Amino acid sequence: MARYLTFLFVAIFCNLNAQVTLSADGPGDTYDLITSVLAPGANPIEVPDCNHTDFGEHIDEVFDAELNANVFRFFMHVDHDDDRCIVFDRQRAEIKTYDQSPDHLKGVEDEVVEYKWKFKLDAGFQSSPKFTHIHQLKAVGGPESSQPVIALTTRKGSPDELELRYAESTSAVTLIETDLAPFLGVWCEATENVTYGENGSYAITIKKVADQSTLLTYSDNDIRMWRTDAEFVRPKWGIYRSLLFEEDLRDEEVLFNDFSIEEIEEPLPVELISFSARLVDNKKAVLDWQTASEDNNKGFEIERSNDGQKWELLDFVNGQGSSNTKNDYQYIDKTMAIGPNYYRLKQIDFDESVEYSKTAVVLVEEPNDKFHIFPNPSSGMVHLKGLRQDVLVKVYDKTGFIMEAQSENTELDLRKLPTGSYFLSFYVDQEHITQRLIKL
């Protein structure tokens, strides 16, 4: 059966874009097909075949009626599979690019890359409470390569969730999480855009194939997407899960198809220097942003969310078209809701291409005469006004884990806490008070 490697070369403004695609073409010789695209003559496949030889290959191809196409099927078995006969507290069936892959399949510093793929989790899919990665971006080389830069992982919980995990160096945090249920039993399509660098950018959107409805979206235009002394960053797809709670797992089959890696050399249409949001008098949010240059910029849509996942359009601000000078913008929102209010910019080009800014947040508090926490949100010190110094204040994350507790509580130091939402809990005159706190 014919196997193929597809290269698409498109010249734009004298820059060269290269796109490589990997699509299933029918049962048989699946490993040869994957290898011919991701690492010709090498081995870009990580599977537990060596310890489960009676089953055979853990990646094959089947016909899918919904897509009306052949697709890749990844197998994982609780009782028999491990991580390549090397590690036995976890299981892995993944494909990847690596040092034996062509250079245009490796993410390098100052490069812009777009990854696309389709996947389907079974309606009864079961996740580990530790980790079940279905996609990773992982650095190769250097002292910070132990953690994936990005991991798309499912996790058992109440409810089960899909998490986007990020490691700035060797410690990972959750950037966004959402209920896993809408992703089960349906074909999904992911698009991931990365600018690799110390001051890089990252964006991902996952849509349902059937109706193109958005299930998850996240973007950050000021995020560290490089590792000290790294050689390159590689993508990985498949099933990589912990076996520490194997009673929570079952034998799984995950479907994938239409993997695409595309190098995008041209610069972004707008160079955004900064974007911030600040709360004034607990009554209005002031958004400020500055661009260093603009090319064909139609303008900015202002979007707001109360949970960081579902976004609404507030207004549109005209751009400068094309400009090589700094431009300052400001927008004021007086319609915030009580609680966290997340903001982002959707920059729109005249050809209707879009880029998203990082997310900024302000917290509108319920009026309270007894105490006041400021600043909130905060990335450093938080001051507690109106509390006696003998009041014990505890800081919880959403799972109820105590992150920090202090009795000398005129101020709290949040600098060591991961970015996210927390709750302050304390008693005043036998009244139990809980207050939301956001760490930037």
Q: State the pLDDT at residue 2.
A: 35
- 151 and 286, same domain (yes or no): no
Residue 1 domain-assigned (yes or no): no
According to DSSP, the residues that pair with 255 across neighbouring strands are 73, 120
Average pLDDT, the chain: 86
The answer to whether 352 touches 346, Cβ cutoff 8 Å, is no
- 235 and 306, same domain (yes or no): no
Residue 352 domain-assigned (yes or no): yes
- 259 and 275, same domain (yes or no): no
pLDDT of 407 over the 60 cut:
no
- 56 and 119, same domain (yes or no): yes
In whole angstroms, give the CA distance from residue 251 to residue 246: 10
For 209-259, what is each residue's pLDDT tens digit?
Answer: 999 999 999 999 889 999 999 999 999 999 999 999 999 999 999 999 999
Among 234, 264, 294, where does a domain finish?
Answer: 264
Q: Which domain holds residue 79?
A: 6-264
Q: Say whether 137 sits in a helix, a strand or coil.
A: strand
- 430 and 306, same domain (yes or no): no
- 285 and 428, same domain (yes or no): no
- 292 and 424, same domain (yes or no): no
Residue 142, both tokens: 């250097």
Q: How confident is the model at residue 417 (pLDDT cuts 50, 70, 90)?
A: confident
- 161 and 30, same domain (yes or no): yes
Residue 63 domain-assigned (yes or no): yes
Residue 393 domain-assigned (yes or no): yes
Which range among 14-23, 73-82, 209-218, 292-301 shows the weakest confidence by mean pLDDT? 14-23
- 305 and 403, same domain (yes or no): no
What's the pTM value of the predicted model, to 2 decimals? 0.61
Radius of gyration of the chain (CA): 24
- 358 and 406, same domain (yes or no): no
The answer to whether 166 touches 149, Cβ cutoff 8 Å, is yes
According to DSSP, the residues that pair with 331 across neighbouring strands are 287
Q: How confident is the model at residue 11 (pLDDT cuts 50, 70, 90)?
A: very low
Q: Say whether 3 sits in a helix, a strand or coil.
A: coil
For 268-285, what is each residue's pLDDT tens digit?
Answer: 678 888 899 988 887 899
In whole angstroms, give the CA distance from residue 8 to residue 44: 22
Q: Which of these, 196, 257, 202, 266, lies nearest to 37 by C-alpha position?
A: 257
Residue 301, both tokens: 């849509």
Residue 151 domain-assigned (yes or no): yes
Residue 28 domain-assigned (yes or no): yes
Question: What is the number of structural domains in the chain?
Answer: 3
Residue 166 domain-assigned (yes or no): yes
Average pLDDT of the residues in 259-274: 79
**The domain that contains 90 carries what CATH number?**
2.60.120.200
Q: Which of these, 302, 301, 299, 300, lies nearest to 321 by C-alpha position?
A: 299
- 55 and 40, same domain (yes or no): yes
Among 363, 398, 416, where does a domain finish?
Answer: 363
Among 264, 285, 306, where does a domain finish?
Answer: 264
**The domain that contains 406 carries what CATH number?**
2.60.40.10
- 192 and 105, same domain (yes or no): yes
* 378 secondary structure, DSSP code: B
Residue 259 domain-assigned (yes or no): yes
